[in-house]
Structure 1
């Protein structure tokens, strides 16, 4: 009986720590949530209305990039560009799409020969963006977010 009483008291005293509730603040919970986010990926990429019918994320991304590059190339083809040498170049365009769907050209990587032959290439590209159809911003966790991406465009002028 004596051993049973000592064992029960010992059990009672050591088991109290299991009933303690650890308190966490809302900031701690938020910080843990933020650590789980993949900040380099979005749930839905920016898109045009023509891409809305597509289901998969990769198809929507390809559709957006295809429509954007086609629009820029069509604009450049409609312009009268006179060159003295043939140009076969890949332009690397760095874009940003705001939360409101505003597309901005951040940077253009163009070969020096292309700049020499078409000195206003950056202006032409910027002008082509003025006539784009409505862009729907990217979505992450049901919120519109800013995105940045690069788009290579192949230019051939003969």
Structure 2
């Protein structure tokens, strides 16, 4: 019996080393988490109040892009952008939505474009695209993030 007790005490004192595992440092854990995150995709797309009631994520995304495109088209339709540049029927606009819901619009032109005054178009675009409805930014892992996309905006609706 004494041998059994001695054996159990000896075994229990050495067996603890089998349960010890190396605990990764905070930096190692962070690096591992950063590698696992797909930075090219977001969890939730930006949205506006009109689209929030839609539960399907793909339909909500489509609603947002349609809403923003239509709003930009309506604001630019009032202006003479289509009248100034008759050959221009569609313009691509790079939209940036920042985490604080701020917006930035940049017209995109082919690199070899000299047919129209890009500075004038940029100026008209910035002057007309004010007072847009509040846009909630995209979400990645519960944190608002910056997103960018290019929208084709039709200037001549006939």
Shared fold (TM-score, shorter chain, > 0.5): yes
Distance 2:120 2:145 in 1: 32
Task: Provide Cα deviations, 1:85-134, integer angstroms capped at 9, x if missing partner.
Answer: 743543221121111111112x3223647625x87322222123212011
Structure 1: any 5+ residue segments left out of the alignment? 1-14
Q: Which residue of 2 aligns with 1:108?
A: 107
- Aligned Cα root-mean-square deviation (Å): 3.0
Q: Equivalents in 2 of 1:155, 1:99: separation in Å?
A: 29
Q: Structure 2 CA distance, aligned partners of 1:21 and 1:82?
A: 69
Which 10-residue stretch deviates more, 148-157 or 127-136?
A: 148-157
Q: How many residues align?
A: 145
Would the alpha carbon gap of residues 122 and 22 (structure 1) be closer, same or farther in structure 2, given more than 3 Å must change?
same
1:1-150 equivalences under 5 Å are 18-81=18-81, 83=83, 86-105=86-105, 107-110=106-109, 112=113, 115-116=116-117, 120-150=120-150
In 2, Cα distance between equivalents of 1:29 and 1:79: 54
Which is strand-richer, 1 or 2? Answer: 1
- Using the size of structure 2 for normalisation, the TM-score is 0.75
Using the size of structure 1 for normalisation, the TM-score is 0.75
